[in-house]
Amino acid sequence: MTVRPLRYLGDPVLRTRCEPVTRFDDSLARLVGDLLETVRQPGRAGLAANQIGSTLAVFSYNVDEDFGYLINPEIVELSSGIEEELEGCLSVPGVTAIRARAARAVAVGVDLRQDPVTVAGAGELARCLQHETGHLSGELFIDKLEAEERRRVMRQVRGQWPLTVPD
């Protein structure tokens, strides 16, 4: 397992819709291992495959006591309650914004053995599941901010361009 370098805003792979996994082989196992190792780094809650350059539909998560991955994830349930909380993204370093998300989410997918997996959570885990699933659709968290918040964030991003990435 390897800690892989991150891709940042401006990299086209982040805007690419990830492809469903159809081959469950050693290459996929290495990708999952790398996602798990990379998300274990301090300050990381979730990581989608396209954030490390792969266009396969896989993400890892590491929120409190919940640690794992989903292959071909899909959100199947969102609560009607909305939480507006501060959110950030490893691929948009140094930028945080208030983002509305469902307070509870349920995601389904499979593991490396192709066995069904369900991950349900509230609060930060719910936010993570929604955030990472969005990445796999080519979405960044800044795309669906409220208008005023989006303008503020885009001014901040433009002020950092070209994006300087942390070491």
In whole angstroms, what is the distance from residue 54 CA to residue 14 CA? 9
In whole angstroms, what is the distance from residue 11 CA to residue 32 CA? 21
- Alpha helical stretches, state H, the chain: 26-39, 124-136, 147-160
Identify any residues that bridge with 156 across adjacent strands, giving them in sequence order.
none
Candidates 2, 53, 38, 8; CA nearest to 165 is 8
Token pair listed for 46? 């979730």
Asked whether the beta carbons of 70 and 59 are under 8 A apart, the reply is yes
- The residues annotated as belonging to the active site are 132
